[in-house]
Amino acid sequence: MGNKSVKKTIKAKLKANKELTEAEKMREKVKYEIAEELGLIDKVNKEGWGGLSSGETGRIGGIMAKRKKVPK
């Protein structure tokens, strides 16, 4: 499954109030943690993820990708 498909699946499930898988829950948790670390959590809570600039969104995505590649 491609990365975009995962994003669309999570977004659709959240919108429909459907249960997320454990992997999807973890991804959302990490996303919120990073937003908080970057000082963007208030903006996300007020305006939603769509309220972020492309730079802010890219920064979150970049950090998520880095954390995913942590050596075992």
Note whether residue 2 is domain-resident.
Answer: no
Note whether residue 36 is domain-resident.
Answer: yes
Note whether residue 4 is domain-resident.
Answer: no
Q: How many domains does the chain have?
A: 1
Query: What confidence tens digit (pLDDT) does each residue in 46-70 have?
Result: 999 999 999 999 999 999 999 888 7
| Domain hosting residue 32, numbered range | 20-68
Average pLDDT over residues 2-19: 71
Reading the block at residue 22, the tokens are 């454990």
For 7, 27, 47, 53, 64, the CA distances from 23, given in Å and listed in that order, are: 12, 6, 25, 26, 13
Q: What is the pTM of this model?
A: 0.76
Note whether residue 31 is domain-resident.
Answer: yes
> Is the distance from CB of 54 to CB of 62 less than 8 angstroms?
no
Note whether residue 3 is domain-resident.
Answer: no
Give CA–CA dist 34/25, Å, rounded: 14
Note whether residue 25 is domain-resident.
Answer: yes
Note whether residue 12 is domain-resident.
Answer: no
Note whether residue 6 is domain-resident.
Answer: no
Nearest to 40 by CA among 55, 25, 23, 26: 55
Query: What confidence tens digit (pLDDT) does each residue in 14-56 have?
Result: 767 778 789 888 999 999 999 999 999 999 999 999 999 999 9
Q: Please report the pLDDT score of residue 72 as a whole number.
A: 59
